[in-house]
Structure 1
Amino acid sequence: MALPLLFVGGWATLITCLCKFVHNLGINSVLLTVLGFVVGLGLSFRSSSAYERYMEGRRYWATLVLTSQNLVRLIWIHADEREGDLGKEDLLGKITACNLIVAFAVALKHKLRFEPYAHYDDLQSLIGHLDTFAQAAGAPNTSHQKPPNPLKTTGEFLGVPMAISNPRKELKRAPAPLGNLPLEILSNLSAYIKDLFNNGTFKVSIYQTQALNNLSTLNDVLTGTDRVLNTPLPIAYSIAISQVTWVYVCMLPFQLYKTLEWVTIPATMVAAYIILGIALIGNEIENPFGNDVNDLPLETFYEELMRDVAVITSKAPPRPGDYVKSALNLPLFPLSQGGFEQWSDKGVEGIREGLRARARLGQAVQEKSGMKEASGREVEV
């Protein structure tokens, strides 16, 4: 924003000085109204389309977290562990599969940021044992990299479009095929699920169907985020909106001078800051997967998923009998503080009568609460 605002300030100063000391170039403000309407439509379309892409990216990552949690829970709880050494193999296999689900999220983050290799610190330890194209390609070749150019660095800081590096250059300079790492991780997960089917540790058909459906949903997330990344606003729209916006900003000093005179300069800069700022926000959030401040916090998402997976796998699959028969279990709270043993002595009819009493208690509490709220409103009146 700094460079465009400096240009607008210089332009407004030039026009104001010409109008003051040479010849009055002020024009009717009707043009301001007409152009303002067009610019408003253009910026509204630009911002709404960019925000839609931003929210679509967020929905895909929410779907990824939800599906990953479901798949981890299915594998951890519903995949049986056999006896002896086979049981240890089954347990380590389940842990490895859960780690691969986390690795999918991490690999997708890197793919969406045009980081196609497998050597990154948060990824290498999760997929180092897999045979993938990214793993075979090794680390990127840095011999072609040039020392930082002060002009380029300054241009990037000022937001000059020509100075911003192309994030796809790593893909073009790859010494070997890089494949599609998230898709290859899904293939390994599919092979693991198939192995569970074959060895009989994943017996219930509905769980098998759910596991395959979750893998399919993860594939949908992969293709959907790729669509958001690689389908920007058509260039014709971007150029037209940019041109109309700059015409409007450049015409402001001519239309404001008659009314504001010297105040035209700061007024034009303030208006340009607002208008160009809205346009810049649209440009920035159009790709919601980058490293900018306003982009989606992908690191937070996958770290949250990693913590959730660690919580699920931190204990052996729970056995309902352990907590149902616990002395701390109060089945009919708040009606009774009695535990499992006390209520099991009452028989089925006694338990059902207690359930009916708890329902009546809940209704009575609700009615009492409603009466208190009504009396409180009467006091306020």
Structure 2
Amino acid sequence: MSKLPNSIHEVPVINTQVYDSARTPSLNTPDTMAEEGGYHPSTGGNEPKQESQFTSKPRMTDFNTQEIRDTMSPTGPMTPNPFSRKNTSIDIDDYFTGPRDILKHSKWPLFMQMHGSILPKMIVPLIWMSMWSAAITCIDKYRTNMGVDSVLLTVLGFVVGLGLSFRSSTAYERYAEGRRYWAQLILASQSLGRVFWIHGGDPQGLDPRQSLLRKVGCMNLLLAFAVSIKHKLRFEPYTAYEDLEHLVAHLQTFAQEATAAEPEKLVLKKKNFFKETGEYLGVSFAASNPRKTIKKASRPLGNLPLEILNHISCIVDKMVEDGQLKVPMQQTLAYNNVALLNDIMTGTERVLTTPLPIAYTIAISQITWVYVMLLPFQLIDKLDWITIPATVAAAYIILGILFIGREIENPFGEDVNDLPLEAYCEQIASELDIIAAFEKSDPYRFMESPRNLPLYPASMAPYHVWMSRSEERVREAINSKHSTVFEFRKKVILDKVESQSGGKKPSSEGATTLSGDNNV
């Protein structure tokens, strides 16, 4: 990932023109269109350009947009994306680290895909099982009989099946619950963003620029809350992270003070080859303690999401006190969503810190390994040398289910199959920007546009044409819209059936206009 500038003043400011309405096709809407009816595409483009919030003036951006790709809006002005992972598709690390990029599409069949598969972490167990089954087979062939009655396959298989089913169901339940909490976080961010930007009024006597910047700052706190939760769930307690620092640098928090006092704690030691390889292969002896950074802290780290939530609560209180939220329902909406943010914070922590009891985890793991280790003894009498590949295949199936449950049990980590928290934070950032791009104005102004077709598809007549008609004519058209549209759709379906059966082709009239369009 390319490093972002430390300050927006380090990058020259450039102009970026947005697309105007001249790029979009327009309808030819003369005043006489109402009486003739029907759809007539524009050929001359004589209609005056309608000025809107998106076309009235050029926009400015404080970042160099020449080499930045924004997946959320590929045709609009590009903005840097601090939430995306490094593009390591040609690196072997990409097959072991995650979360998986949900925007990527693979054309390989599922059974041939490696990225996201549990196979890399099963290489060592499968090698061990192949050596174990080979040893048992050789001893049976050249020394003494090692076969036992295969009734153990039935007895132990039932117990192992119950254990793995319980392990998988509880792990996926935690995974799904984590996803639900992040969906609620996106919902609460959107709702509070609308409260701050649309419902919140401007205090009298306040500079409009100051009011706008205050609202933008409030919405940035919502994004900071989401990003701070992501880092907290991954045991990253400081603030000097690329996607977080610029959002909370102006806040006085325990994490900010600890970051300034202990910058050396943020320097990550490079892992040696054996430790890194061991982590990729799922070797438990090579796994690092995820809470190591927190345990080594010598200063209080606080709770950054909670402290940001305190700031959001104070802002809501101030808006109510200043009369910016005049409607009681708006105040209720704001406070309910603040409470929802608190519920999300505690709920995700509960999912993270309440795994399956260790007694269950150990017992299920031991039972599963005992079962696969006993497989060669039960297969040797019937399969001979085929016992070796048969044991490896059975171990892959049984241990694979066990390992999948272990990986998705914590859905907030950085394994390939964990939840893509970076993508969720990017979505929140993008949607808050969309809300902030909306300019408050008279909502009925948009309805008076000549592009507004109130009774489409029953009629192609625009808004101003219907305004020239009598009230009785408008009511009659509204009442007959349902039956008119029904007949039109029925005709289209019949023409389509006849066309597919080799009959006549659909008529152009039925495909572009309704039979009742000339009568309304």
TM-score (normalised: structure 2): 0.69
Tell me which moved more, 80-89 or 116-125: 80-89
Matched, 1:109 2:222: no
Q: CA deviation at 1:199?
A: 1.3
The 2-side partners of 1:333 and 1:154 are apart by 62
Give the letter aligned to residue 220 of structure 1: D
Please say if residues 97 and 192 of structure 1, whose CA atoms lie closer than 8 Å, have aligned partners that are also in contact.
yes
Give the letter aligned to residue 258 of structure 1: D
Distance of aligned partners of 1:232 and 1:177 in 2 relative to their CA distance in 1, 3 Å threshold = same
Q: CA deviation at 1:340?
A: 2.2
The 2-side partners of 1:343 and 1:144 are apart by 68
Give the letter aligned to residue 76 of structure 1: W
The residue correspondences of 1:117-266 to structure 2 (distance < 5 A) are 117-138=238-259, 139-142=262-265, 148-266=271-389
Give the letter aligned to residue 97 of structure 1: C
Unmatched 5+ stretches in structure 2: 1-121, 503-520
Q: Which residue of 2 aligns with 1:305?
A: 428
The 2-side partners of 1:63 and 1:34 are apart by 44
The 1-side partners of 2:267 and 2:325 are apart by 50
The 1-side partners of 2:412 and 2:480 are apart by 54
The 2-side partners of 1:176 and 1:183 are apart by 18
User: Residues 307-343 of structure 1, C-alpha deviation per residue, up to 9 Å, x if partnerless?
Assistant: 1111111131242132022122121222222222221
SS state at 1:117 partner: coil
Q: Which residue of 2 aligns with 1:26?
A: 147
User: Residues 184-224 of structure 1, C-alpha deviation per residue, up to 9 Å, x if partnerless?
Assistant: 11110111111111111111110010011011111111111
The 2-side partners of 1:367 and 1:305 are apart by 42
SS state at 1:122 partner: coil
SS state at 2:146 partner: coil
Q: CA deviation at 1:119?
A: 0.9
Q: Which residue of 2 aligns with 1:41?
A: 162
Give the letter aligned to residue 211 of structure 2: D
Give the letter aligned to residue 189 of structure 1: I
User: Residues 168-197 of structure 1, C-alpha deviation per residue, up to 9 Å, x if partnerless?
Assistant: 111111121111111111110111111111
The 2-side partners of 1:177 and 1:169 are apart by 15
Where is the helix percentage greater, Structure 1 or Structure 2?
Answer: 1
The 2-side partners of 1:157 and 1:177 are apart by 33
- Which of 133, 138, 144 is the aligned partner of 1:12? 133
User: Residues 143-179 of structure 1, C-alpha deviation per residue, up to 9 Å, x if partnerless?
Assistant: 9976634543343233121321111111111121111
Give the letter aligned to residue 281 of structure 2: L
Q: CA deviation at 1:78?
A: 0.8
The 2-side partners of 1:143 and 1:198 are apart by 41
User: Residues 32-84 of structure 1, C-alpha deviation per residue, up to 9 Å, x if partnerless?
Assistant: 11111111111111111111111111111111111111111122111112456
The residue correspondences of 1:60-139 to structure 2 (distance < 5 A) are 60-82=181-203, 85-138=206-259, 139=262
The 1-side partners of 2:194 and 2:499 are apart by 47
User: Residues 280-327 of structure 1, C-alpha deviation per residue, up to 9 Å, x if partnerless?
Assistant: 110000000000100000001110111111111113124213202212
Tell me which moved more, 80-89 or 269-278: 80-89
Percent identity over the alignment?
Answer: 52
Please say if residues 227 and 425 of structure 2, whose CA atoms lie closer than 8 Å, have aligned partners that are also in contact.
yes
Please say if residues 265 and 293 of structure 2, whose CA atoms lie closer than 8 Å, have aligned partners that are also in contact.
no
Give the letter aligned to residue 167 of structure 1: P
TM-score (normalised: structure 1): 0.94
Give the letter aligned to residue 353 of structure 2: N
Please say if residues 117 and 140 of structure 1, whose CA atoms lie closer than 8 Å, have aligned partners that are also in contact.
no
Q: CA deviation at 1:346?
A: 2.1
The 1-side partners of 2:448 and 2:492 are apart by 34
CA RMSD of aligned residues (A): 2.2
Give the letter aligned to residue 433 of structure 2: A
Give the letter aligned to residue 50 of structure 1: A
Give the letter aligned to residue 41 of structure 1: L
The 2-side partners of 1:340 and 1:152 are apart by 69
The 1-side partners of 2:146 and 2:313 are apart by 71
Q: Does 1 or 2 have the higher relative contact order (CA < 8 Å, sep 6+)?
A: 1
Matched, 1:280 2:403: yes
Q: Which residue of 1 aligns with 2:445?
A: 322
Tell me which moved more, 369-378 or 312-321: 369-378
**Number of residue pairs matched?**
379
The 1-side partners of 2:172 and 2:182 are apart by 15
